[in-house]
Amino acid sequence: MMPDLGNYSTTVISAYVISLIVITCFVILTLVKSNKVKKKLQEAMHKIQKK
């Protein structure tokens, strides 16, 4: 099923792997930051509601 890439197979496969790793890291960092922002927003809402 895999196409014959000849001499470039190592380069192409490593480029795909590196790209997937970078994209995965961006997704994880985005989710972590989103959770931090949600937590800060909830804390701010609780402070406002207590007043």
* Per-domain boundaries in the chain: 27-51
pLDDT at 3: 77
List the end-to-end C-alpha distance of the chain, in Å, as a whole number: 64
pLDDT at 46: 93
Residue-by-residue pLDDT tens, the chain, 51 positions = 777 888 899 999 999 999 999 999 999 999 999 999 999 999 999 999 987
Residue 46 per-residue DSSP state: H
Q: Give the global pTM.
A: 0.73
